[in-house]
Structure 1
C-alpha cells in the first residue's frame, strides 16, 4: 500500500515542472529503493545469521546458545540468562568492568581476532592474580560470525563482589 502511494506521489511530482530537478530525482530514488526493499531477498533471512554456540555455565552444565552474526557474545549470553544484563550495561570497552569475562576453548581462540590492548588491560586489571588467562576474553568484545558456529565458551562464577 505504501509503495503504491509513493509511486503515485512520484508520478505527480514528476509532472510538476515547478519542482527542482534534484527534488524530483530524490523522490524517484526513494520510490525505487522502497520497491526493492519491500521484496524479500535471500540475504535478508534471519536464519542465515544464526550462530549456534555452547556455553558451560558455572555449575558445569553445557547449554545451547543461539546468537546472530554481528551480535556480541555478551548479548547472546545475556539473552540466555548466563550473564546478568544489569552487570554490564554498556558494550563499550571504556566502561567495561570485565563482568562479561568468558573463557573460550583453544580451538576457537584461533578463529577470533586477537584481543585489543584495551581488552587485555581490562582483563588484567580485573583478574585476581593480575595475570591474564590466555583463554579469557570479554564477551562484549567478541563479535559473532558464521565461522564461530559450534564455539564452546565457559562462563566463570561471578566474582565475590558480584554475589548478592
Structure 2
C-alpha cells in the first residue's frame, strides 16, 4: 500500500492508502476524498482531477504527460508549475507519503 495525503484548499488533510499502480485520482475516489471529481474516469479527457503536487514530491511524480498541460489550461483553477492531473500519476512504492494539494474547485 502507498499512503497519499490530500490537502484541501481549507488546509484540512486526509491520508489514505492506495494500491501500487492505481492513480492518485482513483485512490481519492475509492477513499471518498472530497475535491477530486474525475468526471472522465481517468481517461485524460477533462481536468476535474486537477491537483498541485507538493514541491517536495515533484521530482518523484515526473513531468506532465503529452496533452496534460492542454487540459490543465482549461481547469477551473489556474494552472501552477506543480499542477498535474491526478489521473496521470500512478502510485509506486517510491511515492509512499506523497502529498498533493487540491484546488478550491474542480468545476
User: For residues 144 and 87 of structure 1, what CA distance do their matches in structure 2 show?
Assistant: 17
Give structure 2 stretches of 5+ with no counterpart. none
Tell me, yes or no, if structure 1 residue 144 matches structure 2 residue 91.
Answer: yes
Tell me, yes or no, if structure 1 residue 126 matches structure 2 residue 78.
Answer: no
Give structure 1 stretches of 5+ with no counterpart. 1-49
User: For residues 121 and 85 of structure 1, what CA distance do their matches in structure 2 show?
Assistant: 19
After the TM superposition, which parts of structure 1 deviate over 6 Å for at least 4 consecutive aligned residues? none
Q: Which structure has the larger Rg?
A: 1
Number of equivalences: 107
Contact 2:36-2:49 at 8 Å conserved across structures: no
Q: Give the TM-score normalised by the residue count of structure 2.
A: 0.86
Q: Map residues 37-116 of structure 1 onto 2, 5 A cutoff.
A: 50-83=1-34, 87-93=38-44, 96-116=45-65
Contact 1:70-1:144 at 8 Å conserved across structures: yes
Are the structure 2 counterparts of residues 84 and 55 from structure 1 closer, same or farther at C-alpha, using a change threshold of 3 Å? Answer: closer
- Which has the larger strand fraction? 2
- Which has the larger helix fraction? 1
